[in-house]
Structure 1
Amino acid sequence: MIDRRAWRLRKLLDGDQPAPRWPASVSIRTLNSPDAKAVHALLIRAYEGDEDIFPSAEDWWARFSGDPEFDGNLCFLALDADGKLAGVALCWTSAFLKDLAVRQDMRRQGLGEALLRHVFAAFRARGATHVDLKVELDNDAGLRLYLRCGMVRVPWEG
């Protein structure tokens, strides 16, 4: 079924890609199971108004980590100077960016773009030719970010 309220966007990973530029004092690492509650909480805040799509943290983690496309090495956490979760980029092994979320007080500092470019670099290093994602049409900030980073709309079927 085609979702008419969302676009499928794609970034081709050909040619030179800009490296991520991380905000000051931000570090990056991959996801571990103890991170599940913090990631879940950030996603609920980021998708405010859509909380009903997220089950409890335990149920979310079981479904997410149990998915055949899950690989914790493709889930990236950005941590602030205090080691607290500032943003996440959760990806499937099919070179699909499932979720990108940045904590409210960390927005407009380039963290979302840095995470996105980190995702592009990770999949390029794995030999992927492109990265896809789904974006809701009412997500103006997300659309601006993705288009600014060179993503283009592609048909849902391919």
Structure 2
Amino acid sequence: MRRSLSEPVSVPLWQPPLRRMPFDRNSALAAHRLLAEGTAVGGGRVSDFETWLCAFESDPEFDPQLCFVIADTQGAIAVCQCWNSAFIRHLVVHPRGQRQGIAERLLNLAFGAFAARGEGHVDLNVMESNIRARRLYERVGMRYVQRGELDPARAL
């Protein structure tokens, strides 16, 4: 799916107790744990923590500034991991934060970051069977551009 960045992007507001966490080693561990839980339920894979974290230092597609972590009073509640190529790799919201608009605001945060970098659009892949996710992406202005098989070997 694709979201054109020529359309306006809403600036997300995080009301307490929600707050954006800087991406560092502490928030990385919480983000990884949340991604592992989310992909176990929603499909896909996340490599072990050290491999995943190392990718931010060695893979040109990864940028810590494009890993958005949202926390509440209990810790990380949502994470959106993006690639430099204007691609959303993972988006996970903990069950305690679902149906509160967190995913929509997190997507808008990613869209704004890519718009600020001068990108024309943002892409992501979604499984056809994941109706909830598809509806979310449609609500934030994403449109279908291509159907195809996903590469299950890509673990990060």
Please indicate the TM-score interval, normalised by the length of the shorter structure: 0.7 to 0.9
Aligned match of 1:144: 135
**Letter aligned with residue 30 of structure 2:** A
Quote the Cα distance in structure 2 between the aligned partners of 1:98 and 1:53. Answer: 11
Cα distance 1:141–1:156, how it changes in 2: closer, same or farther (>3 A)?
Answer: closer
Q: 2:61 is matched with which residue: 59, 69, 72?
A: 69
Q: CA deviation at 1:74?
A: 1.1
Q: 2:35 is matched with which residue: 43, 61, 81?
A: 43
Quote the Cα distance in structure 1 between the aligned partners of 2:40 and 2:58. Answer: 25
Q: Is the contact between residue 30 and residue 74 of structure 1 (CA under 8 Å) also seen in structure 2?
A: no
Cα distance 1:52–1:139, how it changes in 2: closer, same or farther (>3 A)?
Answer: closer
Q: Is the contact between residue 21 and residue 27 of structure 2 (CA under 8 Å) also seen in structure 1?
A: no
More off after superposition, 125-134 vs 62-71: 62-71
Q: Percent identity?
A: 36
Aligned match of 2:96: 105
Cα distance 1:142–1:50, how it changes in 2: closer, same or farther (>3 A)?
Answer: closer
Quote the Cα distance in structure 1 between the aligned partners of 2:42 and 2:58. Answer: 22
| Deviation string, structure 1 residues 32-53 (Cα, Å, up to 9, x no partner) | 1332321121011111257883
Quote the Cα distance in structure 1 between the aligned partners of 2:88 and 2:129. Answer: 18
Alignment RMSD (CA, Å): 2.2
Quote the Cα distance in structure 2 between the aligned partners of 1:145 and 1:30. Answer: 25
Quote the Cα distance in structure 2 between the aligned partners of 1:129 and 1:64. Answer: 23
- Describe the SS at the equivalent of 1:76: strand
Quote the Cα distance in structure 2 between the aligned partners of 1:103 and 1:31. Answer: 18
The runs of at least 4 aligned residues of structure 1 exceeding 4 Å deviation read 49-52
1:85-96 maps to which residues of 2 (within 5 A)?
Answer: 85-96=76-87
Matched residue count: 148
* Structure 2 residue runs without a partner (length 5+): 149-156
- Describe the SS at the equivalent of 1:19: coil
- Describe the SS at the equivalent of 1:150: coil
Q: Is the contact between residue 27 and residue 69 of structure 2 (CA under 8 Å) also seen in structure 1?
A: no
Quote the Cα distance in structure 1 between the aligned partners of 2:41 and 2:57. Answer: 24
Q: TM-score, normalised by structure 1?
A: 0.83
| Deviation string, structure 1 residues 66-94 (Cα, Å, up to 9, x no partner) | 32111111111101135x10101111111
Cα distance 1:95–1:55, how it changes in 2: closer, same or farther (>3 A)?
Answer: closer
Matched, 1:10 2:2: yes
Aligned match of 2:124: 133
* Structure 1 residue runs without a partner (length 5+): 1-8
- Describe the SS at the equivalent of 2:81: strand
- Describe the SS at the equivalent of 1:119: helix
